[in-house]
Structure formats: structure tokens, C-alpha cells
Amino acid sequence: MIKVGIIGAAGYGGGELVRLICQHPEAELVSLTGHSNAGKHILDVFPHLRGYTDLMITELDVDYLAAKADVVFLALPHGHAVATATTLIEAGVKVIDLGADFRFNDTKIYEEWYKVEHTNPNLAGEAVYALPEIWRESIPSARVIGNPGCYPTSIALGLYPLLKAGLAELDSIIIDSKSGVSGAGRTPSSTVVYSECDDSINPYKVASHRHTPEIEQSLSRIAGGDIKVTFTPHLTPMTRGILSTIYAKLNVKGLAADIQKLYEDTYKGEFFVRVLPQGVYPKTKWVAGSNFCDISVKLDTRTGRIVICSVIDNLVKGAAGQAVQNMNILFGLPENTGLKQVPMFP
């Protein structure tokens, strides 16, 4: 059994990790840590887990984790993962960071967008940015994994076949993404309380969202050329889910290609990516509670643009589920081990 520790277990991402690991046939929880909730039973924070675990949430004890765990998930705000990850890795423990601290090999980009000094650039340079469907070959040997963000996951999976085949103009990509309020975390704020967000939708952090450099890093790596995107996120009055609608101008080669077939062929062997039939467009409800990403593509013949629609559950494929998928790869298990949950509907 893989011995698992979760740091930051009381947040939404941490709670999803607990839920998934409790159902994982090859993993066992050995430690749940948190600061403000230390001393509480996990059931006091997440009553829906009753009958699945009896662990208490404790203050972080890195030495205990280093002795007991094979892998530790860090579900912490940016800027809080580096010191703990460094100690765990030196002790031989695998680390999967759900935050932003290890998503950039170039720490100058991280510092520019997150306004926090990165205290271990060498470890950041070693870290593997692990979106399995695209870069799984680099995952098995990793000591520290930067788990992709939720928006970047939906966008990279949506554009991967098109960019890998060189069918799009790289200077014309526009992304409109909509996220449920759980993406803002569990800390109360005026923007996500019911009376503020219900029956309303709004753009936020226009042309300034911190996921922008991560999106551009991923897409540039796929395309083999520098990409800048226009990315506008929106807060939507739902709990879970991300819908990314992506617009890209096709080049001459792209206009002549069968884009539907390209997507179906690219993702043919992928358990977690479902390319929808032509004329069927995804809903966030269709992936809720699951690690699936549903994708549709449509050519607008009037404009020569391809319209790609990609949906994920932001807490699962956009966070905890993808982290468990990466853990499975690290330990030589089938990627869908413990992740075969059928989406919830309605």
C-alpha cells in the first residue's frame, strides 16, 4: 500500500484528496495536517467522509511525514510549499504540489506573477509539470511534481491535438473560461458568498490572471513556439466545474484537415479524455465529481476559426483527481486506479 500524507487537508482540494484516497485500493492515508483546523477530527470538517476515515487533523510535523509517508500531497496556498517539499524530498518522500510553487521551472516568471520569492530555484528547475495525457513520460522518475492548475488543464487538453499537429496560427488564440465558485477556495469572501454570486456571472482578473503564464508555458511547449493568449476567466454561479471555450485561427494546413478525426485519434487511448461526437457540446454536469475532460470541436467556416469547448471538474481533473492520477504513474499503477468514479448527474 502507498502511504499517503495530505498537507492542507481542510480545504476543498484537500478534502477531495481525502475522498479519493479513501476509495483508492492501493493507497492508505497516514496523516492529515492543517493549521487553523488542527486538533479537529476530519469528520468535523467534512462530515460526508463518515465511515471512510477516522484520522484527526494535526499540525504539520515534517519529520513524522518523512518517516511514515511514501508520497505527500501539498494542498497549500502559493508560497507555502517550498520549504516543506525540500525537507520531504531530501528524506526520500515523493511530493505532489497542487499549488503553483513548482509549476514553473523558471522561478522569475513565478515571482513576477505571484509576487513571492521562490526560495529553492534548483528544485523548481527539477520539478516535473505533470499533465499526464501530454507529458506522462517525464512523470515516473520525478521527485517533485507541479500539478497543473484547473484553467490550464482544461485549456491545454483542449488545444493539444491542434497545436501538436501545427494546424493553428499561434498569435490568435482567445480563451473564455468560466469556473464554479469552489475554485476560489473555502475562505469566505464577499465575491463568493451566496448573495453576491447567485444569479450573476462576472469576468475577473481580466488580462491579469495568474494562470496566464502557466497557460502560455504549456501551449508554447506543445507548439514548439512562443504563444501569447488572450485569457478571460469568469465566475459562474455553480459550485463545481470549468468550461473553457477556445478560439483559434486555422492555418492553410488546418483548414484542409479533418479536425474531428484528429481529436478522436489523439485521445483514442486516453481513459480520462472523451471527445464528443460532432454537434454535441459538453456540459460541466457531465463531468461533475469525476476525473474526465469532455471536449468538442467545431469549425466556423465563415471565419476559419476552430471553436473548442472543454469541460472538467475543477476540484478533480483540475486538482485532486489529476494529482492522484500522477501518484498512480509515480508508483507504477494504472492511471485510472481509484479514479473510475462515474460523473454525478444531475
Kindly report, residue by residue over 333-343, the tens digit of the pLDDT: 999 999 999 99
Averaged pLDDT of the chain = 96
Same domain, residue pair 96 and 171: no
pLDDT band at 189 (very low <50, low <70, confident <90, very high): confident
Same domain, residue pair 177 and 122: no
Q: What is the pLDDT of residue 275?
A: 98
User: Residues with catalytic annotation?
Assistant: 150
Kindly report the three-state secondary structure assignment for every residue of the chain: CEEEEEECCCCHHHHHHHHHHHCCCCEEEEEEECCCCCCCEHHHHCHHHCCCCCCEEECCCHHHHHHHCCEEEECCCCCCCHHHHHHHHHCCCEEEECCCCCCCCCHHHHHHHHCCCCCCHHHHHHCEECCHHHHHHHCCCCCEEECCCHHHHHHHHHHHHHHHCCCECCCCCEEEEEECHHHHCCCCCCCCCHHHHCCCCEECCCCCCCCHHHHHHHHHHHHCCCCCCEEEEEECCCCCCEEEEEEEEECHHHHCCCHHHHHHHHCCCCCCEEECCCCCCCCHHHCCCCCCEEEEEEEECCCCEEEEEEEECCCHHHHHHHHHHHHHHHCCCCCCCCCCCCCCCC
pTM: 0.97
Same domain, residue pair 178 and 110: no
Q: Which range of residues forms the domain containing residue 202?
A: 151-314
Q: Can you give the CATH number for the domain in which 84 is found?
A: 3.40.50.720
Q: Does residue 58 register a pLDDT over 90? A: yes
Q: Does residue 84 register a pLDDT over 90? A: yes
Same domain, residue pair 66 and 190: no
Q: Does residue 283 register a pLDDT over 90? A: yes
Q: What is the pLDDT of residue 191?
A: 84
Same domain, residue pair 17 and 100: yes
Same domain, residue pair 159 and 307: yes
**223-229 mean pLDDT:** 96
User: Does any domain span residue 135?
Assistant: no
Q: Does residue 188 register a pLDDT over 90? A: no
Same domain, residue pair 10 and 99: yes
User: Does any domain span residue 105?
Assistant: yes
Q: Can you give the CATH number for the domain in which 196 is found?
A: 3.30.360.10
Same domain, residue pair 172 and 117: no
